[in-house]
Structure 1
Amino acid sequence: MKNGKLLLHIVFHEVTLKLPQIFVAVRQKTRREIKHNYELDAVTTMHCLHKPLPYLIFGVLFGYFTPLSSLLQLPPVTCRCKNISSCYGHCVTSQEGVSELDCFGKHLRFSRIIWKCVWTPVKKQTQRYTLCIEQNKYSKTHTNISETSQTIILNKRFNMTAHVFDNSDWKSCTKTVFRGSPQQLVRCGPPSNVHLKRHSRQLDIQASWRKEETKYIRLYSVRYKELNSLQWKEPPVQSKDRNRCTVGNLNSSLSYEVQIECVANNKCTQCPWSEVFTVPPELTDTPVIEMVKDSRPQTKGRRLVIIKWKFAASELAEGYSVSVGKASGEEPIETFNISRPLLMVTLSNSAYHLKITAQNRAGTSPAAQSTIWPLDNKDLYGKLNLTFNGNTSFTISWVDDLIKTYSCFSVEWWTRGNKAAHKSFYEDENNYEVIPLHEPLELYKRYTFTLHTRPDKEPCNLKFINNSESTYGSIQSYFTEGSPISAPGNISSSNVTQSSMVLEWTSVPEKDTRGFLLGYVLHYTESPNDRTDAETNITVDAGSTSYELVDLKSNTVYQVQLSAFTAAGMGVRSSAVYFETKSTASLSMGGMIAGVAIGVTLLLLVVNLGSRLIKRAKRILWPSIPNPGNSNAIQKIDGVCELELLEAINRQKLEEEEGDANSLHIVDSREKKYPVSNLHSSDSCLHLNTDHEENQGPSETTADSAEPTKVDPQINMGLCRRDTATDSSTQDPTSDTIKPPTDTRQTDAVPISTVAHQCPQLSFMSDYTTMELFQQVMTQCVPATMSSSSSSSSL
């Protein structure tokens, strides 16, 4: 019993001594040492104790280490790579589980290689994986992995096998396997940076790899296809070197897809394709600059410049790049990347170069370029003074005390057509600065000097373009002046009279003046063939290009020459030109012709305007009144009356000539008024009137008359034409005689030769209101005289 207690005390003492080692192992996260020590203790205990008391001691130790292991949160290890088939033999391969295991090596610095395995995760939010690596006699198990990749250690001389298991469900776990040779698993790429640019139906590709891989890559390949196409163009295009590749014969208006891979070698045995790069269509149009406008803001010496442009293929452009830099070449050149075709910048009075391009992921369009010229000197607020110190330096000074506000300045100077030079300097004591020159000043050249002020302190270099410097003043000067080497040109005359003429010319070009132009001298003489005549010289201001010669003789030829002069003297004369004044006779004839022409013009104008005024006054004061006789109603009435009356008379004469006087019956019907509304349905009648009264009743046959004479029923002596449908008193047209109506009365007899024809009073609708009233009171038919050899009948 005492021996058992002693043994238990020894075991506890050994465990106590081993506890610090266990805690150190936990801190260092070395699971392998913890498991080895744990297994070693258990095996030693099992082999040393063969009696019941040792079993009891082992049980105590087991109960002691169990809570300790849970306290340290050590994962229980039940499987190793050597017994992996017994542990994970029931796991299956599934696309929905862990799959696509891939192991490879990547180059590191100092020619080292790091090995890594990656796999596709199980489609769950949280998952734990176990990775087992087997290589020759070496095996390594990585447990409780939460990521989908794991760094491993491999020996390049032996083949390797990798297993990955998911630990989500022990009963339904999944697995995947990878086998390969490390010598064939060294991978380079894909490229870390790719730059694509399209131009001239070509695609320029610049690709770069990680710094550790660059020295192993010599060439790379590019495959491409049209966007949404299924087939890649074959064969792939190979680069010229490790960085540059050009793909040609592309369609500028199409989009393309591009992939890049390195060319494999013994240092880069694997070259995977990069991601697919989409290349938009090429930008072939050039932006068109519509406006570069200067606007003067409140700050002195600065101007707000508004730049506006348009781009034809604006739907293909993702933005615009506008570069603004000083024409003198002073850096920096500031670039503005904007999304719309409008830019406003605040600049000084210096000259600037402007460049605008449209851009997208494929590159940029051709650039539109322009120059922003300086403002006039009158727009500046300061005054400068300039002194030349020989031809290698000059002194520039200013009037205002600028050093109280500014310490940094810049001066620019240039000649027309040449690039400006510049010099920045720091000044805080004097209001002047001596500027040394790298190149000597030229003779007879006009220089422009401009002084700018800058808000930033030393160093006084230009920091940026927009809203940076202000312009104080500007001055022009010649280092040395000379006389003009050319004369005014294009001399002509106008408004030539008997005693005067106006001469006009063009000025001398600035490059030929060789100094500040002070004026012109006009040389003219009366008779160019007579050398004894004195020449007249007239000085004209430099700002004038015309002059009127007066007090000239009529009908005389004058020789004229012009020359310009500067402070250095008179320049060359122009070629002689000749002008002749007008004579008195030509002037009189011309005046007379002009007077006649003016008079004729005025007369035609007065006649034209007068006739128009008279016609207009006539229309206003005496408006036109329609002629009733020209209406349609009168024409129809006259035509009907005349035709029917003539027809009746002719038939009567024909019957009288036949001698059948007994068949003549004279019928007088009572006149009936027709309303206007029944005009078209009523009869159109022609009556023989026997008296001067209008409305007579129906007539009767005289008592002493013999047997009535038979006449044609269409005549009826009254020459009536009536509608049988509307007049109930109309007789049967088949009867030989016409019966008078029952209601009759005796009328006075009138000779037939005095019978007047009368039609019923009708109201006609016409275009003339006056005719409607006039129709009701006048006789509508033309009177007719009928001669008869028989005796008169009364109506």
Structure 2
Amino acid sequence: MEGGWVQDVLTEAPSITVTAKAIAPGKQRVTVEWEYMQKEHVSGYIVNISRIPDSCRTRNESYKLSDTQFHVNLSLAFYKIWVAAENSAGFSPAASVMVPVSPKTEFIGKIFATVQKNNNIFLTWSPDIECDFFIINWGTNSSNMETRAVMEKQDNYSLTGPFEKWKKYIITIHLYPEMCFCGSFTRESTFGMTYIYAEESVPNAGPSNITIRNISKHSADIYWEEIPEKDCFGFLVGYKMYYTDMSQNKTLDVIVNSTSETSWKLTGLARGNKYEIKISGLTKKGEGILSAPYVFQTLLYDEGEFRMIVVLSCLGIIIIILLSASVCAFVLHRTKRWYFPKVPNPKHSNITKINEEISTKSVPRLLAPQDEHDGDSAHFEVVEVSSMGVSTLDESADEVDVSSIHETQTRFLKTNCQRSPCGKETPTTQGPAPHDYTGTKAVCKPAQRNPRTMHEIGRPQHMPADVTKKKTVLSFSDYIRENQSMN
């Protein structure tokens, strides 16, 4: 069917990946893998291997496969692999890739090349090649390679030119050790490999992508990329770095005697200065063109020092703020005292204290309530105390004539002692009691429910023993009753 045939046409090329692994001196195992999007319409795959340049007899070898993986052992010559899918309708577009050289490949021997005055390249090798058949390849790249088959045993060979100047040539020798004659390139092994310039010059460009890292007060790490091979114009033997102190317009240089080193640590720099960096490549012919300049500045302080400065600065600011606040508070306080003096408070005046002391001394406390509360009513103890001590009213009597002192006691109590609602006495501001009883001490006490006689009440603790018998004890109810009878 025409419609079905159109659907079977393969329009996509496979996606290829190639890897190489060294398996023996001068030999590597190449693995080819691919994927195909239209694999449901594929009946098989075609793998074609082409040697560049061709060998003594064949150039291409083809393999028809149904799998999507292929292994083959090859020498270290240039090879190109094509992969295409096929079905009844035809072939798909082919995908191609160059076979890489394994980075850890070893060789059977070594090749030594020198340029002669007639622009020829003279080759020698070690050890000697035992076979009387070997192949020599030389060229600048995979698309510009030449081949020469040597069919006799030799220990040297001269390659005739012309050879381009400032171009790097790759030279290889390949053997067929199993048969010592021309055969399939899958049997080929590489004896050795070398590189040479027919004529060298200085690099035509400097390193690119210069970067500065780990900048400190006195050092910096300089990194750069290699000079491309097409711009080297000779075998690179090292790099030369110029660094200029822009503050003093002073330039120094450093030579890096290694092509594998693409970094350098500059030391002995002045802190806080700007430096300009330029780098050039070196060959046997001399120094090449300088790179573009790159400017950087060293640090005034290392990272740790900078942190310490920040911390100390913050502490200093805090201290200044606290001191300023203290000074402002002091000045404000002094200003307030100067412009707004404090008005004296009479409550705290010394005159008031003196008046209180005088009042206390001039108005004796004659009546004081006792701590004991035996009942609902109160009674008083009246004790006569003379200036020389405690005097008795009547030494021979056990009781005192109460009626003789009622009038005086009434006036005294009305004048100097008032009963407050809470049971406390309030001294009046009137003068002292009559002269006859200035030494009399009146004590207000709550009276008992059943008043006792003078003989039943014991001696107060604050009086001497000889005064106990000369004490008159009056209950408050008796006193009121006698007082009413007098009035």
What is the alpha-carbon distance in structure 1 between the residues aligned to residue 111 and residue 301 of structure 2?
58
Report if aligned partners of 1:381, 1:472 keep a CA contact under 8 Å in 2: yes
- The secondary structure found in structure 1 opposite 2:40 is coil
What is the alpha-carbon distance in structure 2 between the residues aligned to residue 334 and residue 489 of structure 1?
42
- Please tell me whether residue 295 in structure 1 is matched to residue 21 in structure 2: yes
TM-score norm. by structure 1 comes to 0.37
- Please tell me whether residue 342 in structure 1 is matched to residue 92 in structure 2: no
What is the alpha-carbon distance in structure 2 between the residues aligned to residue 595 and residue 368 of structure 1?
69
CA 446–376 in structure 1, closer or farther in 2 if over 3 Å, else same: farther
1:472 alignment partner, one of 191, 210, 233: 191
**Corresponding position of 1:514:** 233
Report if aligned partners of 1:350, 1:373 keep a CA contact under 8 Å in 2: no
- Structure 1, unpaired ranges of 5+: 1-225, 228-250, 257-279, 597-795
What is the alpha-carbon distance in structure 2 between the residues aligned to residue 380 and residue 559 of structure 1?
45
How much has 1:587 moved relative to structure 2? Answer: 6.5
- The secondary structure found in structure 1 opposite 2:42 is coil
- The secondary structure found in structure 1 opposite 2:255 is strand
- Please tell me whether residue 539 in structure 1 is matched to residue 255 in structure 2: yes
Cα-to-partner distance string for 1:98-154 (whole Å, 9 max, x where unaligned)? xxxxxxxxxxxxxxxxxxxxxxxxxxxxxxxxxxxxxxxxxxxxxxxxxxxxxxxxx
1:582 alignment partner, one of 299, 306, 309: 299
- The secondary structure found in structure 1 opposite 2:222 is strand
Report if aligned partners of 1:485, 1:513 keep a CA contact under 8 Å in 2: yes
CA 518–525 in structure 1, closer or farther in 2 if over 3 Å, else same: same
What is the alpha-carbon distance in structure 1 between the residues aligned to residue 278 and residue 144 of structure 2?
37
What is the alpha-carbon distance in structure 2 between the residues aligned to residue 528 and residue 483 of structure 1?
32
Report if aligned partners of 1:524, 1:559 keep a CA contact under 8 Å in 2: yes
- Please tell me whether residue 527 in structure 1 is matched to residue 254 in structure 2: no
- The secondary structure found in structure 1 opposite 2:122 is strand
Considering only aligned residues, what root-mean-square deviation do their CA atoms show, in Å? Answer: 2.8
What is the alpha-carbon distance in structure 2 between the residues aligned to residue 457 and residue 594 of structure 1?
82
- Please tell me whether residue 366 in structure 1 is matched to residue 366 in structure 2: no
**Corresponding position of 2:207:** 488
* Structure richer in strand, relative to its length: 2
CA 407–591 in structure 1, closer or farther in 2 if over 3 Å, else same: farther
TM-score norm. by structure 2 comes to 0.58
**Corresponding position of 1:571:** 288
How much has 1:388 moved relative to structure 2? Answer: 2.9
How many residues get paired? 311
**Corresponding position of 1:312:** 37
Q: Comparing both chains, which one has the higher relative contact order based on Cα–Cα distances under 8 Å and sequence gaps of 6 or more?
A: 2
CA 320–513 in structure 1, closer or farther in 2 if over 3 Å, else same: same
The 5 Å alignment of 1:239-258 reads 251=3, 254-255=4-5
Report if aligned partners of 2:25, 2:106 keep a CA contact under 8 Å in 1: no
- The secondary structure found in structure 2 opposite 1:521 is strand
Report if aligned partners of 2:20, 2:100 keep a CA contact under 8 Å in 1: no
What is the alpha-carbon distance in structure 1 between the residues aligned to residue 178 and residue 303 of structure 2?
76
Counterpart of 1:334, as a letter, is E
What is the alpha-carbon distance in structure 2 between the residues aligned to residue 588 and residue 571 of structure 1?
41
- The secondary structure found in structure 1 opposite 2:231 is helix
Report if aligned partners of 2:242, 2:277 keep a CA contact under 8 Å in 1: yes
**Percent sequence identity over aligned pairs:** 26
What is the alpha-carbon distance in structure 2 between the residues aligned to residue 585 and residue 389 of structure 1?
57
What is the alpha-carbon distance in structure 2 between the residues aligned to residue 442 and residue 302 of structure 1?
30
CA 329–401 in structure 1, closer or farther in 2 if over 3 Å, else same: closer
Report if aligned partners of 2:25, 2:105 keep a CA contact under 8 Å in 1: no
Counterpart of 2:140, as a letter, is T
What is the alpha-carbon distance in structure 2 between the residues aligned to residue 585 and residue 415 of structure 1?
51
Cα-to-partner distance string for 1:610-646 (whole Å, 9 max, x where unaligned)? xxxxxxxxxxxxxxxxxxxxxxxxxxxxxxxxxxxxx
CA 390–457 in structure 1, closer or farther in 2 if over 3 Å, else same: farther
**Corresponding position of 1:396:** 123
Report if aligned partners of 1:377, 1:475 keep a CA contact under 8 Å in 2: no
CA 400–521 in structure 1, closer or farther in 2 if over 3 Å, else same: same
- The secondary structure found in structure 2 opposite 1:255 is helix
What is the alpha-carbon distance in structure 1 between the residues aligned to residue 312 and residue 179 of structure 2?
78
What is the alpha-carbon distance in structure 2 between the residues aligned to residue 317 and residue 286 of structure 1?
12
- Structure 2, unpaired ranges of 5+: 314-487
- Please tell me whether residue 325 in structure 1 is matched to residue 50 in structure 2: yes
Counterpart of 2:156, as a letter, is Y
Report if aligned partners of 2:19, 2:100 keep a CA contact under 8 Å in 1: no
Counterpart of 1:343, as a letter, is F
What is the alpha-carbon distance in structure 1 between the residues aligned to residue 67 and residue 91 of structure 2?
15
